[in-house]
């Protein structure tokens, strides 16, 4: 197995495992944290291996005030964003340099970013799940959900792209700018794939499906330009 093939194979395994871990962060560390904090009990946890086609969920019991229910509903989104932000900061500032450690953290940062921003962006157009609960509670509006989701997406897009460029360069998997363009485009092609699966799982109308799919194609297309202004001095010119 060549170095690139090995890198890809290991990355795919890590991607799937961290996707599941990301769901656990959202449900248990997110919703579950506030359930327990407010005196409730977690009665069940379902982590879907088919996410986002089938959503994960957590069951609980307890009596909560309205403001506590709002924190519980938003806990998954909030904690996921915090976890992703912390991991991205650690990787951006080279606190963790070893590829064996940084690669899983990159993927976990990706999934814990994609989960809440996906909720916010799609929920901003067609409210569902946690976003629908937050809108009903008056803690969020569709416009604010969409705006916050887009801002977080752009910030994480640049951050994660920079981290991936660094990893690919350090490991010598990619040695040219053209190679980086292709690698980044393939990485961000996960977005349209996940978006289409999400739309199918939600049984969205064809109009929503078309709109969300079209918008999801923007990240991999923009990724083709990213190496031009995020590349490091170590990347060889093509």
Q: What is the pLDDT of residue 173?
A: 74
Q: Burial level of 92, CB count in 10 A (0-12/13-18/19+)?
A: middle
Q: Name 229's Cβ contacts closer than 8 Å, sequence gap at least 6.
A: none
What is the percentage of the chain residues whose pLDDT exceeds 70? 93
- Residue range 94-107: mean pLDDT, rounded: 84
With a threshold of 0.85, does the pTM exceed it?
yes
Q: How confident is the model at residue 237 (pLDDT cuts 50, 70, 90)?
A: very low
Percentage of residues in the chain having pLDDT higher than 90: 76
Contacts 24+ apart (CB under 8 A), 206-210: 208/125, 208/126
At residue 178's C-alpha, the angle toward residues 174 and 180, to 5°, is 45
Distance CA 164, CA 8 (A): 13
- Categorize the per-residue pLDDT at 152 as very low, low, confident or very high, splitting at 50, 70 and 90: very high
Query: Exposed, middle or buried, 212 (CB in 10 Å: 0-12/13-18/19+)?
Result: buried
Closest CA to 208 of 143, 124, 145, 147: 124
- Mean pLDDT, to the nearest integer, of 18-33? 97
Is the model more confident about 161 or about 236?
Answer: 161
Average pLDDT (29-48) is: 97
Q: Where are the beta strands (DSSP E) in the chain?
A: 41-46, 57-61
- Distance CA(131)–CA(140), nearest Å, equals 8
What are the contacts of 224-227 at 24+ separation with CB within 8 A?
224/181, 224/184, 224/185, 225/181, 226/158, 226/161, 226/165, 226/181, 226/184, 227/165, 227/177, 227/180, 227/181, 227/184
In sequence order, the β-bridge partners of residue 42 are: 60
CA angle 156, 49, 184 (to 5 degrees): 30
Supply the mean pLDDT for the chain.
90
């Amino acid at each position: 197995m060549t170095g690139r093939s090995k890198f890809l194979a290991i990355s795919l395994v890590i991607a799937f495992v961290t996707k599941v871990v990301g769901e656990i962060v959202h449900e248990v560390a997110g919703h579950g944290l506030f359930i327990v904090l407010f005196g409730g009990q977690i009665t069940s946890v379902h982590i879907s291996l088919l996410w986002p086609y089938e959503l994960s969920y957590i069951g609980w019991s307890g009596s909560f005030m309205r403001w506590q229910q709002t924190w519980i509903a938003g806990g998954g989104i909030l904690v996921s964003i915090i976890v992703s932000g912390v991991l991205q900061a650690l990787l951006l500032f080279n606190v963790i340099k070893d590829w064996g450690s940084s690669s899983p953290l990159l993927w976990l940062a990706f999934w814990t970013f994609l989960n809440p921003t996906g909720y916010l962006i799609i929920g901003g157009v067609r409210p569902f799940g946690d976003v629908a609960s937050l809108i009903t509670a008056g803690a969020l509006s569709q416009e604010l959900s969409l705006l916050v989701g887009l801002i977080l997406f752009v910030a994480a897009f640049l951050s994660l792209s920079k981290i991936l460029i660094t990893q690919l360069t350090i490991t010598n998997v990619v040695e040219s700018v053209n190679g980086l363009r292709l690698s980044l485009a393939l990485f961000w092609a996960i977005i349209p794939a996940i978006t289409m699966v999400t739309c199918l799982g939600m049984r969205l109308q064809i109009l929503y499906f078309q709109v969300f799919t079209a918008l999801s194609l923007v990240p991999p297309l923009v990724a083709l330009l990213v190496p031009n202004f995020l590349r490091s001095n170590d990347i060889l010119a093509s």
